[in-house]
Structure 1
Amino acid sequence: MKKLSRYLEKCIYIVSFIVIFWIMFLLLFFSNTLKYACKKEFVFSNLVIFNVFLIILLMYFIIKNKFRIKICNLNLDKIVKICSIVFFFIQLYISYNIFFETGWDSGGAIVPAARTLLNNGNVAPLNDSYFSLYPNNLFLVNIYYLILKINKSVGIFYGENQLMAIVVFNCAISSITCWLIYLIGKQIKGNKYAFIGYVLSLALIGISPWMVVCYSDSFVLFVPITILYVYTNKKIPCVLKYTIIYVMGYLGYCIKPQAIIVVVGIVIVDFITFLRKNDRKALLKGFLGVVISVVLIILLSKGLNILYQREGFETNSDKTFGLSHFFMMGLNPERLGVWSGEDVDISLGCKNQDERVKKNIEVSKERLKKFGGYGYLKFLSKKMLTNYNDGTFAWGEEGGFYFIQVDDRNEQISMRLKATYYNDGAHFWLYSLGAQFVWIITLTLVTVATITSLFIHKRRDSQYLIIILSILGITLFELLFEARARYLYLYIPVFVLAAIYGISDIDIYVFGRKKDEKANIIYSDTLL
């Protein structure tokens, strides 16, 4: 059993190394030459950014050894709490000044449905046109409806500012997520490494304009990281822990299916742990948590379905787009794996679910046959670049993105912020380059962690295995199905946590820091 657990761990390390190396190789050497969907142009290439990061590390190494500078101990816990609160208000200020209503799914169906419920209107016209196709978004509609209803009762945002009520929640979620990254990083590698991860998260999430968009990507951001926090928190009793994890995973799945990936990672790692320790008591507690979770999930599912029906949502399951549709769309050679109107028409042309699955598989087989082995690998590489070569996470790439724009709140401030965050703004290159720079650094550190995991460490902790499995899961999901960089957004916290392992490994194996065996965590005064 122990040998099997070691073998499975080794397989995870090998696969993660191959996948992450594939990503970095494409980003550094093929991002400018390959044609792929939603391609953004940056002022500097990824290779230049990578080399600049190496130079920064080299300079740090020289300064550290020459001057032996030690930074005094800071109360990082207090600093992070204060920064999280301050950044919440900074996010609100930015959002208020760049606010707009977007189109696509958000402005085309979800927000209108929430507003219709708020005004006691008839949602029936949206049933066949959208929610029969994508019924999973009904839960998000009700969340937005509840927020707008509270806002209406309190009386804060009206008229063109109504959706700012949702944006406030997005900003709070963003700040809490960054704070949770620090707390988990502190548990796994110590507060100083966690603080560096916190800074990375502020750059990728804290000042990201995605907080102003009312859609699942920004709203579900806290789910994977909260699940990881619950998992790593030793104070929570085992049964309660797994109940929270599974129920929260289900609710996250109802908002955005990709959120469930972290729960799958936990199940796999717990299975490996059981093989190694053969702890039957822990297995029994975990099983009890599963039983309770299943009962609660069934009750929640039935309760939500009753709620939807009372509101007037009568979806037709024969029209629902399943995984076979998204797999087919992920193989579209003309659209290079992103959303395709042609494929939507193909699925809409089928009378029922069985016919749709059959047609989707038929088209998918034809496309795979035309690709061939090498052609499919090249196609997947293009999808990988679509997913990973954008530190803005496909900001502005959806149809009708800036659907309804409002007048400038403050002529000087709003104009400058819009020029920085809007794709056609004069200074957008500055934001996009900064975001790309931090994203490449984060992926580089993730690469370091995968290299040391395979070639140096005998075994990582269970948290790392869950983190890397989550990264593998979301990568595989986007390779097989519809590609889009924004689908990675909810897993930015997981990438940052993996980067924290990379920071720690650099400090040990490059800068010569040593592990404190008593604390079983790595401390360092050097990186700060």
Structure 2
Amino acid sequence: MVIGLSGNTTWDPSIITTLAANKSITSWYPDYFSYNPNNIFLLVLERIINNSLHLIGITSYSAFIMILGMISYFLIDVSIFILFIALKRIFNCQVSILSGIFTWFLLALSPLGVIPYSDILAFLISCLFLYLYSLSVNYQVIVSVGILSGIAFLVKPSLIIFDVALLIVKLFDLKQAKKPLKAIIIFSLSFLIIYVPFNAYKSHNSIVRIDSTKAIPANHFIAMGMIGTGGYNNEDVLANHKIKNLQERKKYNNRVIIKRLKKFGVAGYIKFLVLKQINNTSDAGFGWGMDAGQNYLMPFGEKISIQRITRKIYLNNQSFVEINWNGWKIVNQLVWTLALAFMIVATIKANNDSLILKLTILGGFVFLLLFEGGRSRYLIQFLPYLIALSSFGITQIQANKEFP
């Protein structure tokens, strides 16, 4: 897939890789990182990889993109292994094996890794969270969770929903709540050790100039998540760009939120949320081709037969992505439908070990309903919890034959 599908896009991933490769984005989207400073961490990581490749004589942009794709699939494999170990400790070997099978079908055999972005890194972080959760609680584990949470917040702030779920679980687990204040202080300091220095670096980095007055406020994403399918809305983005003052931008978005809530009414908003939840969860392709068209993915020149084969499966007319893959997606959709069904079984059956999964998933769903969503790609960051809960549901059916 890396050899056959790697190429250019005109969306966020290519903006980041272009600047990471020391190429200019001035004529394209010069203020991108001022509007979206949350992607600076990914930019820095990719710039480090690009500079390292230059040291060994690899300077081609296409080679850079393909190596990023290889790293993505390597991280998926590592994540599956970490998830296997974690779930074997939390539940049993059967749950861990089933989770590995689900992950291979839904992510490892999908084309998502060929477009470098934060989703795969977020998937790895969620697997690491579960691994740390599987360990006996001590101060080394607390420090590790704090450091990982700091990194997670820089990659995708929504990843720390796991921390909120963990706090709720531990509040009800009195045996584990020894010296809770000390544990919270250690966690907070570990988090800040990562977050504060990088935040300072972000404002004074040597890669791209950041104008903090242009940053898009959080309530913009709430407002954008209340129109259409609840996903990206270009009119909202342009309206925010036109407002030069940050505080005025926040006030504008608050007015938009209130206006849209009044237009919905209670019943209308509930109906909108139901439809948005369907959009957020129903696609087993996790958004591959949702921005369909010739600019979604333009593969590098075709040279060998493996490129023709992969493009026939995942692309339309060998040149760009189509919303529905040529046949293969039906396999993913069937697997995902089964996974969703088994999640329901696991939700019905009460079990303390699965509480952390349920709370994190619930928090993730609420987050995607309130903020920009509208497509299943945003679920990748929560996929380890969803897959683990589904696998647990299968074992519950086997353990309880009389379950209807």
TM-score norm. by structure 2 comes to 0.91
**Which secondary structure does the structure 2 equivalent of 1:428 belong to?**
coil
Aligned-residue offset at 1:318: 2.2
Question: C-alpha distance in 1, partners of 2:46/2:366?
Answer: 30
Equivalence map 1:455-474=2 (5 Å) = 459-461=351-353, 464-474=354-364
Whose relative contact order is higher, 1 or 2, with alpha carbons under 8 Å and at least 6 apart? 1
Question: C-alpha distance in 2, partners of 1:331/1:402?
Answer: 24
Aligned-residue offset at 1:511: 6.7
1:499 aligns with 2:390: yes
Give the % identical residues.
27
1:331 aligns with 2:226: yes
- Which has the greater radius of gyration? 1
Q: Structure 1 regions of 5+ residues with no counterpart?
A: 1-93, 454-458, 513-528
2:302 alignment counterpart = 408
Aligned-residue offset at 1:424: 5.9
Equivalence map 1:247-262=2 (5 Å) = 247-262=147-162
Give the residue type in structure 2 aligned to 1:361. N
| Number of equivalenced pairs | 397
Give CA-to-partner distance per residue, 1:207-264, whole Å, 9 cap, x none: 1111111111123220011011012123xx6111111112211212211222221122
1:358 aligns with 2:251: yes
1:183 aligns with 2:81: no
1:272 alignment counterpart = 172
Give CA-to-partner distance per residue, 1:41-89, whole Å, 9 cap, x none: xxxxxxxxxxxxxxxxxxxxxxxxxxxxxxxxxxxxxxxxxxxxxxxxx
Aligned-residue offset at 1:409: 3.7
Q: Structure 2 regions of 5+ residues with no counterpart?
A: none
1:368 alignment counterpart = 261
Equivalence map 1:505-520=2 (5 Å) = 505-510=396-401
Question: C-alpha distance in 2, partners of 1:296/1:214?
Answer: 27
CA RMSD, aligned part only? Answer: 2.4
**Which secondary structure does the structure 2 equivalent of 1:394 belong to?**
coil
Give the residue type in structure 2 aligned to 1:99. S
Aligned-residue offset at 1:331: 0.9
Give the residue type in structure 2 aligned to 1:186. K
Aligned-residue offset at 1:430: 2.1
Question: C-alpha distance in 2, partners of 1:225/1:479?
Answer: 23
Aligned-residue offset at 1:288: 4.6
Question: C-alpha distance in 2, partners of 1:353/1:473?
Answer: 28
Give the residue type in structure 2 aligned to 1:380. L
Q: 1:373 to 1:291 in 2, by over 3 A?
A: closer
- In structure 2, which of residues 287, 290, 303 is the aligned counterpart of residue 397 of structure 1? 290
Equivalence map 1:479-494=2 (5 Å) = 479-483=369-373, 484-494=375-385
TM-score norm. by structure 1 comes to 0.70
Aligned-residue offset at 1:419: 1.3
Give the residue type in structure 2 aligned to 1:105. D
Aligned-residue offset at 1:302: 2.7
Q: 1:184 to 1:423 in 2, by over 3 A?
A: farther
- In structure 2, which of residues 169, 175, 190 is the aligned counterpart of residue 293 of structure 1? 190
- In structure 2, which of residues 9, 12, 17 is the aligned counterpart of residue 105 of structure 1? 12
Equivalence map 1:28-43=2 (5 Å) = none
Question: C-alpha distance in 2, partners of 1:480/1:302?
Answer: 30
Q: Is the 8 A contact 1:261 1:474 kept in 2?
A: yes
Aligned-residue offset at 1:156: 5.0
1:150 alignment counterpart = 52
Give the residue type in structure 2 aligned to 1:226. L
Q: Is the 8 A contact 1:127 1:313 kept in 2?
A: no
Q: 1:304 to 1:372 in 2, by over 3 A?
A: closer
Equivalence map 1:124-273=2 (5 Å) = 129-156=31-58, 158-234=60-136, 238-273=138-173
Q: Is the 8 A contact 1:132 1:320 kept in 2?
A: yes
